Amino acid sequence: MPKCIIICAPSGAGKTTIVHYLLKQNKNLQFSVSATTRQKRENEQHGKDYYFITVEEFKKNISENKFVEWEEVYEGTYYGTLKKEIERCWNNGHHVVFDVDVEGGLNLKKYFGEKAIALFIHPPSLEVLKQRLQKRGTETSEKIESRIVKAEKELAYAPLFTHVIMNNQLEVACEETLAIIDKFLNE
């Protein structure tokens, strides 16, 4: 039976790095590419990291019920999980891995029920999170501040997840996440 692995965290907590690690370690996992209306970062590829679409395209997909879940994460910036993306992964015989924000992850957990495990990657502190976002060098100081404000709210949701992984040391967090997922997939 195909299953779902939901990895959530505030922006900058390490979820994408952990997801890349999981995909390298377990060939039965396939990444669910989310759709977004945000601008593509320099190192990102359309169709690999995200489906970068316009707000108009996103709203059309909403009206046509093409999303499992979606939300306006920041004003004017939408993210969502397309139903066809999950079908693509499952049709290839893989378990689906989601790298989504906290609310999206909780929506997916509710939607998939027993087929899903939801993991929250917890940063050591808001200060460390801010430093990581600044180190990325991909966003303005205003964007970083807005992500920190959102992160404060998201941290309160951690207890609603199946597991919480503290990302003090990336290597340890990666190994801990992989062990939890391997156990879930073998149940």
In the chain the domains, ranked by start, together with CATH numbers, are 4-185 (3.40.50.300)
What pLDDT is recorded for position 22? 97
Residues 6+ apart with CB under 8 A from 164: 119, 120, 122, 158
What pLDDT is recorded for position 5? 97
What pLDDT is recorded for position 179? 97
What pLDDT is recorded for position 74? 79
Per residue of the chain (187 residues), give pLDDT as tens. Answer: 899 999 999 988 999 899 999 999 999 999 999 999 998 988 899 999 899 999 999 999 999 999 999 989 878 899 999 999 999 999 999 999 999 888 889 999 999 999 999 999 999 988 888 888 888 877 788 888 888 898 999 999 999 999 999 999 999 999 999 999 999 999 8
Alpha-carbon span 108 to 95, nearest angstrom: 14
Alpha-carbon span 84 to 177, nearest angstrom: 26
Find where tokens 């004017």 sit. 76
pTM of the predicted model as reported, rounded to 2 decimal places:
0.88
